[in-house]
Amino acid sequence: MEHFDVAIVGGGSAGLAALRQLSNLGKQAVLIEAGKTVGSKNISGGILYSKKLKNGKVYNVEDVYGKDFLSEAPIERLITKYILHATSKDKVFSIDLTRAHEYQANFGYSVLLNKLNSWFAKEAEESAEKQGGGIISGVHVQSLSWQHQQQQQQQNDRVIINTNELEEFEVKAIIAADGVNSEIAELTGIRHKFSPDELYQGVKVVVKLPEEIIEQRFQIGPNEGVAHLFAGDITMNHIGGGFVYTNRDTLSIGAVYHYDSLMENPTEPYVLVNTLLSNPMVREFIKDEVAIKEEIDKNLPKEEQLRTRFAVSKLIKTWEELRHTYYSPSGRAKLIENGKYKSSEEIKARLDFIHKELSSKYGTRFVTDYIELEYSAKLVPDGKRCRMKKPYYKNILFIGDAAGRGIFIGPRIEGLNVGIDDAVRAANAVARSIDRNNFSPNYMGEFYSQLVEDSPYTRDMKEIDKDYLKVFLDAAKDVPKDIVGSRYGMIFKLMSSGTFRGLAVGFANMLGYDRLLPLIESEETYVQVPIEIAEKLGSRVSSSYAPSIPTLAQRIARLKYDDDSVSHIKVLDPKSEFMKKMVILCPTKCYITENNKVMLQHEGCIECGTCAKDTEWRHPRGEKGINYQYG
């Protein structure tokens, strides 16, 4: 049997940070990832933050990967604007929350996790191999067992890891970074499966849009980005909202709603994101020039029809690729450097020629529409409600989503940076235990638990930050208090006083989030108040076209799967009310009802875990299941 010091389960950004940190500390560690490649299972909204918090030290991404992270990593755009929109039909009222976004931040970059985690993996593996460790992808943990060892009056049980793909092996410690539906947590029984009131469900699409068109449309400079958040009628009466983030040459567009709210008022996830895409402001954000093939004359000989179809498809592909490259400064420079074209003008002339040939020779229409690249969904833990108070079991430490840790406070949404901070603290705790050969819960587990408790992020999950609240209230100062209703108008007015705000926040923190959440997170705050603000203060936004939104079947057909002959989901109670709601709430409609029983109808699962609570839910075996191209 092979032996390693540490195994990290899960190749997301948190797990990879733990591997890199352990390697930086000179410790041997292996990372096990179920996906075919690292990054293929990961999705995020998403913005990666680096923070400089006033009430303590946090470990940022550049602390793990070095000062050259910003110049070398495949990050998308530096978010320099952060805008909240209240919506009602075609009316929008906007509030600039950029100062809230920048609060105690070094930076916040939009990211796509397939690219970024692949880079993290390359960097982490190079370091790990120097210590005799590395990354093993395509491996799914099936079970754990403990081998008892007593050494110098210390209990150092070794963990034996059994997988579907490898011979079993032994480790001294495990860092569990296997996500919100952590199988390590379930195998150990350390915590319950997270319930709907502890989670958010996010659904997202990635939209293609050329680089310089993004910069022109969103009025940003090269490498700059903007985040747009939405509340009001686009929520369809759910607690949560929508977002649009600019990437380098794509947009991330999604809807994130409290799972409990969705359970009370079930709505298909794809309908929620479609509602956002149909908003006139968002329609104008995503629009582009799209080539539409005309029907080929059926009277032509079959061979001629085939030749024409092939020629048109090839030309459209060439036009799309060349156009995307033309609107990218680095893309144009590369074409000229490679000698394919002598100048930007020559590239434009070729682009126009193809456009004219498609239009005049083949009758191709060029219309205003949008191009969707990928559909995805995931569950996100609400750290205010579900963070593990003791994130360890024996010699296993839990980090990030697996430990139920994330920050959801109004427009402040952070997860990636929290997971990285957890990862460094876990790696430091494990390294200390290796040095002293003591992996007992009282030594390693309690030490890590205290490290996590000392993190400023934990404080943010427990208490209201009065300074952040002031920044948010200052941004909303122009909203008349009578519009937000008697209850919230009075709160806004009182909170404008620095003295009262400090006293009120202190009292609120004594009460705790549990008693405040029904007031803070309600249909009134996310739906009714934004609608009223938009109706009374908003400006009308018009859009000149209706987007051709893909059907769910079309979205699923575009995804890349490696189907597994063994189902990773087993319905436990096909008659439960929870499972009946899964017929609606599963993002890819994996369930149907027959004879009053809920059953799986297909395996087009994107592994979000929405159904995990009342199913025997496992991640697919190694290399099987969804393979995201963007994430």
Which pLDDT band, with edges at 50, 70 and 90, does 497 fall under? low
Per the model's pLDDT, the better-predicted residue between 323 and 305 turns out to be: 323
The whole-number average pLDDT for the span 186-199 is 95
Q: What is the chain's mean pLDDT, rounded? A: 92
Q: Is residue 517 part of a domain?
A: no
Q: Is residue 377 part of a domain?
A: yes
In contact, 593 and 561? CB cutoff 8 Å: no
Kindly write down the DSSP assignment for every residue of 423-464, as one continuous string: HHHHHHHHHHHHHHT---IIIIIHHHHHHHHHSHHHHHHHS-
In contact, 89 and 233? CB cutoff 8 Å: yes
Q: Residue ranges of the alpha helices (H) in 521-569?
A: 523, 529-537, 552-558
Express each pLDDT in 271-305 by its tens digit.
999 999 999 999 999 999 999 998 888 888 988 88
Give the amino acid at 1: M
Q: Is residue 519 part of a domain?
A: no
Q: Are residues 395 and 496 both part of a single domain? A: no
Q: Are residues 322 and 272 both part of a single domain? A: no
Q: Which of 31-45, 299-313, 570-584 has the lowest mean pLDDT?
A: 299-313
CATH number at residue 619: 3.30.70.20
Q: Are residues 211 and 346 both part of a single domain? A: no
The whole-number average pLDDT for the span 558-579 is 93
Express each pLDDT in 619-631 by its tens digit.
999 999 999 999 9
The whole-number average pLDDT for the span 444-453 is 98
The whole-number average pLDDT for the span 171-185 is 97
What pLDDT, on a 0 to 100 scale, did the predictor assign at position 483?
67
Q: Is residue 346 part of a domain?
A: yes
Give the amino acid at 606: I
Which pLDDT band, with edges at 50, 70 and 90, does 491 fall under? low
Q: Are residues 117 and 105 both part of a single domain? A: no
In contact, 250 and 202? CB cutoff 8 Å: no
Distance between CA atoms of residues 293 and 302, nearest Å: 18
What pLDDT, on a 0 to 100 scale, did the predictor assign at position 477?
76
Express each pLDDT in 121-138 by its tens digit.
999 999 999 999 999 999
In contact, 127 and 22? CB cutoff 8 Å: no
Tell me how crowded residue 394 is: count the other CB atoms within 10 A of its CB. 19
Q: Is residue 516 part of a domain?
A: no
Q: Indicate if the alpha-carbon torsion angle 479, 484, 486, 490 is positive or negative.
A: negative
Tell me how crowded residue 481 is: count the other CB atoms within 10 A of its CB. 15
Distance between CA atoms of residues 170 and 172, nearest Å: 7
Residues sharing a CB contact under 8 Å with residue 123, sequence separation 6 or more, in sequence order? 20, 65
Q: Look at residue 131 and give its three-state secondary structure.
A: coil
Q: Does the structure show a pLDDT above 50 at 88?
A: yes
Q: Look at residue 89 and give its three-state secondary structure.
A: coil
Q: Give the DSSP letter of residue 613.
A: G
Backbone angles phi, psi at 328, to 5 degrees: -125, 120
Tell me how crowded residue 422 is: count the other CB atoms within 10 A of its CB. 31
**159: part of which helix (H) or strand (E)?**
strand 158-163
Kindly write down the DSSP assignment for every residue of 199-238, as one continuous string: EEEEEEEEEE--HHHHHHHTT--TTEEEEEEEEEGGGSS-
In contact, 21 and 423? CB cutoff 8 Å: yes
**Omega within 30 of 0 (cis) for the link into 46:** yes
Nearest to 481 by CA among 495, 469, 467, 470: 495
Kindly write down the DSSP assignment for every residue of 50-71, as one continuous string: EE--TTS----HHHHH-TTHHH
Q: Are residues 206 and 260 both part of a single domain? A: yes
Distance between CA atoms of residues 601 and 593, nearest Å: 9
The whole-number average pLDDT for the span 501-515 is 56
CATH number at residue 142: 3.50.50.60
Distance between CA atoms of residues 522 and 509, nearest Å: 19
What pLDDT, on a 0 to 100 scale, did the predictor assign at position 564?
85
Distance between CA atoms of residues 622 and 565, nearest Å: 12
Q: Are residues 26 and 147 both part of a single domain? A: yes
Q: Look at residue 538 and give its three-state secondary structure.
A: coil
Distance between CA atoms of residues 383 and 408, nearest Å: 7
What is the percent of the chain where pLDDT is above 70? 92
Q: Does the structure show a pLDDT above 60 at 152?
A: no
Give CA angle at 475 (469, 478), nearest 5°: 125
Express each pLDDT in 29-84 by its tens digit.
999 999 999 999 999 988 999 999 988 999 999 999 999 999 999 999 999 999 99
What pLDDT, on a 0 to 100 scale, did the predictor assign at position 151?
56
CB neighbour burial string for 305-320, b if at least 16 within 10 angstroms, e if fewer: eeebeeebeebbeebb
Give CA angle at 405 (402, 408), nearest 5°: 135
Express each pLDDT in 414-438 by its tens digit.
999 999 999 999 999 999 999 999 9
Q: Are residues 62 and 185 both part of a single domain? A: yes
Q: Which of 98-107, 490-499, 583-592 has the lowest mean pLDDT?
A: 490-499
Q: Does the structure show a pLDDT above 50 at 494?
A: no
Which pLDDT band, with edges at 50, 70 and 90, does 496 fall under? low
Token digits of residue 539: 């400006």
Cα dist from 577 to 199, 535, 585, 597, 598, whole Å: 18, 37, 12, 10, 10
Q: Does the structure show a pLDDT above 90 at 20?
A: yes
Q: Are residues 302 and 375 both part of a single domain? A: no
Q: Are residues 456 and 478 both part of a single domain? A: no
What pLDDT, on a 0 to 100 scale, did the predictor assign at position 592?
95
Q: Give the DSSP letter of residue 551.
A: P
Q: Is residue 301 part of a domain?
A: yes
Largest alpha-carbon pair distance within the chain?
Answer: 88
What pLDDT, on a 0 to 100 scale, did the predictor assign at position 575?
95
Token digits of residue 617: 């839910």
The whole-number average pLDDT for the span 329-345 is 96
Left if phi > 0, otherwise alpha if psi is -120 to 50, otherwise beta: which for 97?
A: alpha
Backbone angles phi, psi at 521, to 5 degrees: -110, 90
Token digits of residue 429: 């705790």
Q: Which residue has the tokens 């916040």?
A: 108
Backbone angles phi, psi at 534, to 5 degrees: -65, -40
In contact, 264 and 521? CB cutoff 8 Å: no
Tell me how crowded residue 570 is: count the other CB atoms within 10 A of its CB. 10
Q: Is residue 631 part of a domain?
A: no
Give the amino acid at 547: P
**Which of 437, 462, 487 lies at the terminal end of a domain, its last residue?**
462
In contact, 240 and 526? CB cutoff 8 Å: yes
Print the domain residue range for 619: 559-626
Express each pLDDT in 511-555 by its tens digit.
555 666 666 678 888 999 899 999 999 999 999 999 999 999 999
What is the percent of the chain where pLDDT is above 90? 81
Token digits of residue 495: 């909170």
Per the model's pLDDT, the better-predicted residue between 483 and 343 turns out to be: 343
Q: Are residues 282 and 200 both part of a single domain? A: yes
Nearest to 126 by CA among 20, 41, 243, 201: 20
Cα dist from 409 to 60, 62, 117, 183, 450, whole Å: 20, 25, 26, 27, 23
What pLDDT, on a 0 to 100 scale, did the predictor assign at position 501?
46
Q: Are residues 13 and 103 both part of a single domain? A: no
Q: Are residues 547 and 613 both part of a single domain? A: no
Domain count, the chain: 5
**Which of 333, 365, 397 lies at the terminal end of a domain, its last residue?**
365
Q: Is residue 521 part of a domain?
A: no
